[in-house]
C-alpha cells in the first residue's frame, strides 16, 4: 500500500509542471523539425524553379540565393521557437512574466537605439540578397577593394582581394558595388 501511495505522490508531482515542460519541449522540437523540413523543401523548389528561362539563367546563383534565404529563415524560425519555448517554460516554474515583458520592452528600445548599425547592416544584407546584386564567386569592386566574393551574409560580406587579403565588409557600409561577373542584359 505504501508503494502505491509513493507512486501516487510521484505521479502527482510529475503530472504538474514537469510533465507540462516535457510536453512544451517535445512540441517545440517537433515544430522546429517540421518547420526546418518545410523551409528546406521550399528552398529546394525555388532553387530548381525556372524563373528566368533561356540562356541568361543562373542556376548556380539561384541555388546559392535559395540556400542563403533558407538559412536565414531557419535561423529566424529557431529564434522565435526558442523565445516562445523559454517563456512558456518560465511560466511553468511560476515566474510572473509581466515585469519580464515590460523590462524586455525597455531593454529592446535601448538596444534598438544602440544597435542601429547592426539593423542597418542586416536590412542592407536582406536587400542585397533579394536584389541579387552579387553572389559567391563574383568578381567585384566594393569601396576600395577589388576581388572575389567568398561569402555573403546578412551582416557582412567577405571579399578576397587579388593579393590574398580577406576583407570583411559590413553590408550597411557598402554604398556602391561594381560587379564584373553579371551578364549584360
Give dist(CA 181, CA 134) in Å, integer: 8
Task: Name the 3-class secondary structure at 152.
Answer: strand
Which CATH number fits the domain 110-185, given the four candidates 3.40.630.190, 3.40.50.10140, 2.30.30.60, 3.90.1300.10?
2.30.30.60
Q: Give mean pLDDT in consecutive 10-residue pieces for the chain, a chain of 185 residues.
A: 70 78 94 94 82 60 75 85 91 82 79 79 81 83 90 87 92 87 69
Question: Which cell numbers in the block locate residue 4?
Answer: 502505491
- Is the distance from CB of 179 to CB of 138 less than 8 angstroms? yes
Structure confidence by residue, pLDDT tens digits, 82-124: 989 998 898 888 888 888 777 777 887 877 777 788 888 888 8
Q: What is the pTM of this model?
A: 0.58
Question: Which cell numbers in the block locate residue 83?
Answer: 523565445
Domain ranges of the chain: 2-94, 110-185
Amino acid at each position: 500500500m505504501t508503494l502505491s501511495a509513493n507512486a501516487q505522490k510521484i505521479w502527482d508531482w510529475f503530472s504538474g509542471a514537469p510533465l507540462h515542460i516535457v510536453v512544451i519541449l517535445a512540441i517545440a522540437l517537433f515544430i522546429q523539425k517540421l518547420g526546418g523540413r518545410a523551409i528546406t523543401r521550399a528552398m529546394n523548389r525555388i532553387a530548381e524553379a525556372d524563373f528566368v528561362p533561356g540562356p541568361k539563367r543562373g542556376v548556380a546563383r539561384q541555388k546559392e540565393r535559395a540556400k542563403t534565404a533558407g538559412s536565414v529563415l531557419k535561423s529566424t524560425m529557431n529564434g522565435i521557437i526558442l523565445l516562445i519555448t523559454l517563456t512558456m517554460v518560465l511560466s511553468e516554474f511560476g515566474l510572473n512574466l509581466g515585469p519580464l515583458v515590460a523590462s524586455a520592452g525597455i531593454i529592446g528600445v535601448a538596444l534598438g537605439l544602440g544597435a542601429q548599425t547592426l539593423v542597418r547592416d542586416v536590412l542592407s544584407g536582406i536587400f542585397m540578397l533579394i536584389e541579387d546584386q552579387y553572389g559567391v564567386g563574383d568578381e567585384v569592386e566594393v569601396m576600395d577593394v577589388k576581388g572575389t566574393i567568398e561569402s555573403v551574409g546578412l551582416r557582412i560580406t567577405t571579399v578576397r582581394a587579388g593579393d590574398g587579403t580577406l576583407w570583411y565588409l559590413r553590408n550597411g557600409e557598402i554604398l556602391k558595388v561594381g560587379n564584373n561577373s553579371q551578364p549584360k542584359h
